[in-house]
Amino acid sequence: MKKGAIASRRLLIACALAALLSGCFGHSQPTEFYTLSPLTRPAGGAGGAPGTIVAVYPAVIPAAIDRPQIVTRTAENQIMLSEFNRWGGTLKEEISRILVESLGILLADRRVSVMADNLAVDPVYFVAVTFNRFDGRLGDSVWLNAAWTIRDQKHKKTLAVKTSILQEKISGPGYADLVSAQSRALGTLSREIAAELAAQLKTP
């Protein structure tokens, strides 16, 4: 066989191997990045300076979902990590951010300012949330199971220890639909925590 033919054959083999390894026969699937959404802030909002400061500790989440990839449940005891559908930040930071923003929106008319614990100066209340479950099945539902506490910093006592168990239906088959349902579930959790805080604000 001539040298030119051998070289051409080697080049074809190399190209075929490269195509198999890198997906040259088609475009690779792009990675999608997602963020959670807080509750909608009402138009106008409440005026006046806040009189009560509430600090929210960073959320505690299970190690199984504390990953860059979005985790979905495929069976009761089985999960799947999507390499092409990921969180824009860390899930723990996303959840913590949403809780702070949503609680702030819900309590704004009561002259309450809600902040992350590392930013709050002389807070009156501390909120801590531990998630036992926060996942979903594509096209089905999202499940949220969280234990949360409210502590009175001034009097050094725990005012509430509660558990929220929520299920939110997913409106479509995709990951965007899953994340939207997770955002709605966090909104419901925020409403439950805000209602308890509002009740404590009324207590002499």
Residues 119 and 140 in one domain: yes
Residues 26 and 102 in one domain: no
Residues 22 and 44 in one domain: no
Rounded to whole angstroms, the Cα distance separating 99 from 185 reads 11
Residues 52 and 21 in one domain: no
pLDDT digits 0-9 by tens, 52-73? 999 999 999 999 999 999 999 9
Residues 24 and 37 in one domain: no
Residues 105 and 151 in one domain: yes
Residues 143 and 165 in one domain: yes
Residues 51 and 127 in one domain: yes
92 burial via Cβ count (<10 Å: 0-12, 13-18, 19+): middle
Please say if the pLDDT value at position 94 is more than 90.
yes
Q: Which domain holds residue 3?
A: 1-30
Residues 15 and 47 in one domain: no
Residues 20 and 97 in one domain: no
> What CATH number does residue 184 fall under?
3.40.50.10610
Instruction: Check: CB of residue 79 under 8 Å from CB of residue 72.
Output: yes
> How many domains is the chain partitioned into structurally?
2
Residue 47 CB partners (closer than 8 Å, separation 6+): none
* Lowest-pLDDT choice from 26-35, 76-85, 126-135, 158-167: 26-35
Give the pLDDT score at 70: 98
Please say if the pLDDT value at position 39 is more than 80.
yes
Provide mean pLDDT across the span 4-12. Answer: 54
Residue 2 CB partners (closer than 8 Å, separation 6+): none
Taking the model in full, what pTM does it have?
0.84
